[in-house]
Structure 1
């Protein structure tokens, strides 16, 4: 895909960090920006997906459900503890 030139304004300190990191990675500043922006977008998409999943499934545990499961497990254990296992 062909690249498109664009102009952006950055703080001087941030630009220096970008230059330094791009040089360390032996890539151009443009490539550095492309990598950084792609990773940022992917991270945001992952966060959005997680938020959607949490809204569907709920991010709070239903403690009543787990208490009922524990009670059922204990009852089954009590019923089967004297059964011979083959």
Structure 2
């Protein structure tokens, strides 16, 4: 995974998130678990360095299994493509 580098694609994704007000849902769902640990998701610039890539256990339990399932699907498709005759 290389991330997004195309400015048009980045702007397109930003506009979709902004227009659908997705950011507010993300803030609501993520804010509580971080707040319990004394971290404000709207002020990450004030976080201690050791917390920058840290995820509360509560979120790991909810988020990691669905993400793993997404990648299982990717892996399955890649295996199908790599086995298929060209």
TM above 0.5, one fold?
no
Instruction: Kindly indicate whether structure 1 or structure 2 has the higher relative contact order, using CA contacts under 8 Å at least 6 residues apart.
Output: 2
Larger radius of gyration: 1
* TM-score, normalised relative to structure 1: 0.31
Q: Structure 2-normalised TM-score?
A: 0.31
